[in-house]
Every structure is written in C-alpha cells, then in structure tokens.
C-alpha cells in the first residue's frame, strides 16, 4: 500500500486511515496512526484481512490486552465476541457508553473487527468528549472540574442487570464479578493533554457525595449535551473494516437497526491507567 492518508470523518470526531495494512504497519506508519488516534478519538480502516493473530498483534502494539469478564470469548480467550443472532432483538452496546469505565483503571481503547455483517444497518456512532467539554459554559466547567462520579456495571451485567433480563442473557457470564469505580468528571487525557468530559449514560450512576436522585438532572443534561450531532460521527461497516477508539475521549453507540439478520464482531480491549 502507499503512503498513509488521514481523512477526517466529521467536524466532531473520527478519521479514516487510508493506505495501510495494519497487519504490517511500519514504525513510521504506526506513528501516523497513533497521532490520528490521539487527535480524532477514533480511527477507521478499510479493506483489511486480519486473522485473529493479526488482531492480537496490532492490539499489543498499543498496550496490554484486558480480557473482559462478562463477554463470551472466541476460540482465542483474548478476543471477545460481539454477537447478535437473527432471532435476537437486543444488541450489545445499543446505547451511548464508554467501555470499562467501571474499572479502577479504565480501558485505553478497543479494536473492533467486522466478521459477519447484516445486508444493511449495524453502524456504530461515536461522540467526542473533547468537543462536549469544550462547548460547555465557563460556569458549568468550573463546577464540574472539582467533581467525581461513580461508575458501575451491576445494572448492566449483574444478575438483575439489563442483559440478564434480555435475549442476550446466554451470551454473558461473570454476573458475580460486578464492581464499581470512581473517576473525575473531567479528565486530562494522558496522551493529548486535553480535557475531556468523563461520564457516560451506560455506566455512570451518580456523582460522588450526591444521591442518585440529586445526580440525575445534571447527568441527563450532560448526556443530552454530549450527544449533540455536531460532536459525532457514524461509521458504516463493510467487510474488512476495523475501528479503534479511545475510551478516554469518546463514547460509542452500536445502532440496532438490523432485526432478522446476524452481526458478529471481534473485539479486543487494551489496558489503560488511572485517570486524573
């Protein structure tokens, strides 16, 4: 392939990386990809032919791999399945969220590879938490900067959680391994040095020191704000597509608009560090 070309997706976030084979990235091309990832929050690749071993090798160039305790693994335990069968109505990730924000050391990023796709639909949306933060008023920024929020997975993956009550229940495990973590509401990204809003509708339950009820009005305001169209991009999957997103600076949302068709993706999650 030729020289690396970075093509920004929208004014909000995301970039396509053209002209690379990510199974054979040179060190200089890797640096171009790394900078695009830092700048745009999520990078997309087309026409890749990744084996599971290639998928793992690419992920390891970024950091250690985290095995998700709730997802069903593929034949390789380092790779998780994100699956929806033809007869299922609930998908995985069908709402705005950030992977692993419920961990004390949240995941750095996730590498998602398309394996089986519906004829149409099944896009993934992303939103920039840099842009969301930067567009807040000075007064609200000042309020949020001293705050922390609690993130939990119990209501999603626990025994009484969302997935256990859905037609995805057989695909999840580890309901006794639930937990929570507390993070700043505004984090300074370790690679870019930029500030980003760090709450999300999937896993944030309340502000530290506030009740759940007291927290909801402000959280819902932030969620509506952060999902504004001008902060987002939408990726249409094709055979050979790969997405790699930054969990510290983006949200994502798997659109569930392909009932009656199967969709299978392979995901690897990359370890992060405590956020400040």
Based on the residue annotation, tell me whether 189 is a catalytic residue of this protein. Answer: no
pLDDT at 9 (0 to 100): 97
The answer to whether residue 55 scores a pLDDT higher than 80 is yes
Question: Domain count of the chain?
Answer: 1
* Model pTM above 0.95: yes
- Given the residues 189, 206, 248, 252, the one annotated as active site: 252
- Given the residues 55, 100, 151, 267, the one annotated as active site: 267
Q: Is the dihedral of CA 151, 171, 255, 234 positive or negative?
A: positive
- Given the residues 99, 189, 248, 266, the one annotated as active site: 99
Based on the residue annotation, tell me whether 34 is a catalytic residue of this protein. Answer: no
Q: pLDDT band for position 3 (50/70/90)?
A: confident
pLDDT at 2 (0 to 100): 59
pLDDT in tens, 136-167: 999 999 999 999 999 999 999 999 999 999 99
Based on the residue annotation, tell me whether 99 is a catalytic residue of this protein. Answer: yes
pLDDT in tens, 185-219: 999 999 999 999 999 999 999 999 999 999 999 99
CA–CA distance, 271 with 103 (Å, rounded to integer) = 10
Residue 20 lies in a domain: yes
Q: Please give the average per-residue pLDDT across 54-61, as a whole number.
A: 98
- Given the residues 97, 100, 189, 266, the one annotated as active site: 97
* CATH code (residue 111): 3.60.130.10
The answer to whether residue 102 scores a pLDDT higher than 90 is yes
Residue 209 lies in a domain: yes
Residue 86 lies in a domain: yes
Residue 276 lies in a domain: no
Q: Which among 169, 264, 225, 270 has a CA at the least distance from the CA of 12?
A: 225
The answer to whether residue 83 scores a pLDDT higher than 60 is yes
CA–CA distance, 44 with 139 (Å, rounded to integer) = 35
Q: Which domain holds residue 123?
A: 5-270
Q: For a pLDDT cut of 70, what percent of the chain falls above it?
A: 99
Residue 100 lies in a domain: yes
Q: Please give the average per-residue pLDDT across 225-243, as a whole number.
A: 98
Q: Please count the CA atoms within 13 angstroms of the CA of 275 that sit on its side-chain side.
A: 32
Residue 275 lies in a domain: no
Residue 15 lies in a domain: yes
Q: What mean pLDDT, rounded, does the chain reach?
A: 97
């Amino acid at each position: 392939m030729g020289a690396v070309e970075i093509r920004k997706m929208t004014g909000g976030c995301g970039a396509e990386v053209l002209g690379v084979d990510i199974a054979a990235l040179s060190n200089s091309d890797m640096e171009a990809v790394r900078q695009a990832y830092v700048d745009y929050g999520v990078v997309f690749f087309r026409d890749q032919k990744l084996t599971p071993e290639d998928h793992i090798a690419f992920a390891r160039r970024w950091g250690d791999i985290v095995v998700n305790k709730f997802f069903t693994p593929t034949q390789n335990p380092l790779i998780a399945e994100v699956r929806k069968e033809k007869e299922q109505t609930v998908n995985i990730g069908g709402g705005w969220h950030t992977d692993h924000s419920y961990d004390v050391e949240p995941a750095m990023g996730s590498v998602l590879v398309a394996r089986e796709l519906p004829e149409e639909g099944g896009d993934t949306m992303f939103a920039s938490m840099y842009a969301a933060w930067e567009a807040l008023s000075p007064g609200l920024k000042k309020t949020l900067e001293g705050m922390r929020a609690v993130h939990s997975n119990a209501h999603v993956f626990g025994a009484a959680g969302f997935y256990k009550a859905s037609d995805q229940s057989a695909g999840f495990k580890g309901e006794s391994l639930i937990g929570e973590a507390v993070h700043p509401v505004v984090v300074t990204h370790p690679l870019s040095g930029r500030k980003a809003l760090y709450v999300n509708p999937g896993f944030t339950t309340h502000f530290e020191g506030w009740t759940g009820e007291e927290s909801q009005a402000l959280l819902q305001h932030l969620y509506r704000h952060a999902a504004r169209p001008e902060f987002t991009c939408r990726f249409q999957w094709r055979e050979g597509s790969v997405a790699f997103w930054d969990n510290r600076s983006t949200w994502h949302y798997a659109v569930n608009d392909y009932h009656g068709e199967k969709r299978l993706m392979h995901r690897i999650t990359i370890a992060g560090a405590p956020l400040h």
